[in-house]
A and B are shown apart, each in its own frame.
Chain A
Amino acid sequence: MNLAPRQNRPGETRGDHKVVASLVPDGARVLDIGSEDGALLDLLARDRQVDGRGIELSQEGVNRCVARGLSVIQGDADTDLSDYPDEAFDVVILSQTLQATRAPKQVMSELLRIGKQVIVSIPNFAHWRNRAQVLFRGRMPVTKYLPYEWYDTPNIHFCSLRDFVDLCNELDAEVEKAVALSGRGNKIPVNAPWWVWNIVAEQAVFLLKRQD
């Protein structure tokens, strides 16, 4: 299932993937949840020489991953993470998927259990364009990067960046790094307080770990 906004020409590396790759140590054991067609795992195997595994919901996606030589299973972040032992992976990645899970908090705590580090990327529901649509048009936001109508969206648990940081605090997860991105997946090259990012960032990538 591809929940991420399409921003790239075929063959071009997605901006959020580049950011994720920059956060993954060389040779790490990685689990990528929501592998889609395997583009990120492929990138990590190539550039970071990771020992990568994936979970993908759609059969089509899994077939494409396995057909390109990646180790991916058909599965669901909501139900299949409990099978993995504690700290089974150096890094667990959840790209643009949290908002589509049934129980995001439980998924987050599973991620923090099975990964020594966790990378989560989420779309920011509180981006100014979304705010404007609700405020001025009185409509649920439909943008280039969140293209679904309210009745057919797979995104059932939206949050803002600040909401997400609150959840991390509640789960005793430490935000080691956060990168705000534009809708195109480019880094927003400014240091700003959360409330600014919460308005101008269309998505963000977080590097988390459990607080000991």
Chain B
Amino acid sequence: MSADTTNEPISSELKSSEAETPSSKLAKFSAAEPLELDSGVKLAPWQIAYETYGELNNDKSNAIMVCHALTGDQYVASTNPITGKQGWWTLMVGPGKPIDTNHYFVICANVLGGCLGTTGPATVDPDTGKAYALNLPVVTIRDMVRSQARLIEHLGIDTLFAVIGGSMGGMQVLQWAASYPEKVFAAIPIAAAARHTSQNIAFHEVGRQAIMADPNWCSGNYIEDGVRPTKGLAIARMAAHVTYMSDESLHQKFGRNLQDRENLTFGFDADFQIESYLRHQGMTFVDRFDANSYLYVTRAMDYFDLAEEFGGSLPNAFRDTKTRFCVMSFTSDWLFPTSESRQVVRALNAAAANVSFVEIDSDRGHDAFLLDVPEMFDTIRGFMTGAANARGLPSPGAKV
């Protein structure tokens, strides 16, 4: 997500309170209601922070789960309490939007391992009274989805009309469809993949090493020590941000333009606009994100390999599925390229699943799914209308 305004500095008290007592809705599960994790650990007590938009209908058939990406949050269509900015997907979710909150009940939860209210490394470990830090078990995409399944159960919702998300959100969508096929009527994984590639893991490792190389990381115990590894986290964000954009979009936005100067300085100041932009991205990111959370959530993505869970066969993940899929990728996305989406589509075809697939022409790179891409919106409107008809829900006025 691009940040165009500088934020006011935020006190660390406010941030730690968002991790513990979020401004959003919160579901708490007691010591007697553990969340069983892939690592074998039973996490308890635990909590999940979420936002909802729109109204749940009487037969509870119009609920849509939005899954957020690596650094997203539950504030998909409402103001983020830390940055004060509007939700990260207001182009997609809202009244009259493709995910129309006039018709659907939209749920978006902070992921497990996150830092805005769902149990994560910044949460206080009840056994020690201190933040979990690295004592939190490593979590997976499947663990995230398990926690969301517990949430909808808590809300009394049996079946989701749709699950939608981009990037890591799309991984969760695929996991939802594989783990709970009977609970997912329609699935929309955007700019996603059924596994994290070696290249993806490599980029994440660079980010994690940047964080761990910051002396203020303190072997993960920075909260206890009252410091923050902001430099390491900012560098991790800078490196990652490059992977979210295409060469073409960087060229169009910045070219080789110089930042507030006429000539090169023959030094290592931010001569180029792209350098200044990345530094800004890094600096604003540390205000809203926890460094240990970044380690945990990137690790969850690295561990994701849906086929492996099903004996190495991706079609097996979707065997006999009744879910309707709409898979989407972008031409200039080199982080989650179309070839990865095609693998998913092939597997769905081999499983004789109901699938639509579009590669959207865009030069904006991986971030395209967050941006104003009319073809993406038209496709989703059409798909949602078809799914609503098949589900017997009143369909929002489709723009066809």
- B375 on the A face (CB < 8 A): yes
Given contacts A67-B398, A73-B345, contact A85 B350 (CB under 8 A): yes
Residues of B within 8 A of A69 (CB): 382-383, 385-387, 389, 398
B114 to A: closest C-beta gap in Å:
32
**With A and B bound together, what is the CA distance between A88 and B351 in angstroms?**
9
B354 touching A59, Cβ below 8 Å: no
Residues of A within 8 A of B70 (CB): none
- A53 on the B face (CB < 8 A): yes
**With A and B bound together, what is the CA distance between A85 and B349 in angstroms?**
8
B375-391: which residues lie under 8 A (CB-CB) from chain A?
375, 378-379, 381-383, 385-387, 389
- A2 on the B face (CB < 8 A): no
- B214 on the A face (CB < 8 A): no
Could you say which of B156-164, B216-224, B355-363 contacts chain A?
Answer: B355-363
- B202 on the A face (CB < 8 A): no
- B288 on the A face (CB < 8 A): no
> Which of A62, A83, A88 has its CB near the most chain B CB atoms (within 10 A)?
A83
B8 to A: closest C-beta gap in Å:
42
A71 touching B358, Cβ below 8 Å: no
- B14 on the A face (CB < 8 A): no
B349 touching A66, Cβ below 8 Å: no
Q: How large is the interface on B (under 10, 10 to 19, 20 to 34, 35 or more residues)?
A: 20 to 34
**With A and B bound together, what is the CA distance between A67 and B349 in angstroms?**
20
B354 touching A53, Cβ below 8 Å: yes
- B28 on the A face (CB < 8 A): no
B358 touching A59, Cβ below 8 Å: yes
B355 touching A71, Cβ below 8 Å: yes
- A63 on the B face (CB < 8 A): yes
A72 touching B356, Cβ below 8 Å: yes
A60 to B: closest C-beta gap in Å:
9
Interface residues as binary, B107-149 with A (CB distance below 8 Å gives 1, 0 otherwise): 0000000000000000000000000000000000000000000
- B237 on the A face (CB < 8 A): no
A67 touching B381, Cβ below 8 Å: yes
Number of A-B residue pairs, CB cutoff 8 Å, is 72
Given contacts A59-B361, A73-B345, contact A66 B326 (CB under 8 A): yes
Residues of A within 8 A of B155 (CB): none
A21 to B: closest C-beta gap in Å:
20
- B400 on the A face (CB < 8 A): yes
- B150 on the A face (CB < 8 A): no
The answer, among B352, B361, B379, B387, for a CB contact under 8 Å with A67, is B379
A71 touching B354, Cβ below 8 Å: yes
- A70 on the B face (CB < 8 A): yes
**With A and B bound together, what is the CA distance between A129 and B32 in angstroms?**
82
B310 to A: closest C-beta gap in Å:
16
The answer, among A51, A59, A71, for a CB contact under 8 Å with B356, is A71
- B324 on the A face (CB < 8 A): yes
A88 touching B378, Cβ below 8 Å: no
A54-89: which residues lie under 8 A (CB-CB) from chain B?
59, 62-63, 65-75, 80, 83-85, 88
**With A and B bound together, what is the CA distance between A69 and B398 in angstroms?**
10
A73 touching B349, Cβ below 8 Å: yes
Given contacts A63-B378, A67-B378, contact A84 B355 (CB under 8 A): no
A18-55: which residues lie under 8 A (CB-CB) from chain B?
51, 53
A86 to B: closest C-beta gap in Å:
11
B369 to A: closest C-beta gap in Å:
16
Residues of B within 8 A of A71 (CB): 324, 354-356, 386
A84 touching B382, Cβ below 8 Å: no
- A sample of 28 cross-chain residue pairs with beta-carbon separation below 8 angstroms, ordered by A number, consists of A51-B354, A59-B358, A59-B359, A63-B358, A63-B375, A63-B378, A66-B326, A66-B379, A66-B382, A67-B379, A68-B382, A68-B400, A69-B383, A69-B385, A69-B386, A69-B389, A70-B356, A71-B354, A71-B356, A72-B356, A73-B349, A74-B359, A80-B346, A83-B346, A83-B350, A84-B352, A85-B350, A88-B349
Known contacts A63-B379, A66-B383; 9 further A-B pairs (Cβ under 8 A): A66-B386, A69-B387, A70-B386, A71-B355, A71-B386, A72-B356, A80-B349, A84-B350, A84-B352
Contact surface of A with B, Cβ cutoff 8 Å: 51, 53, 59, 62-63, 65-75, 80, 83-85, 88
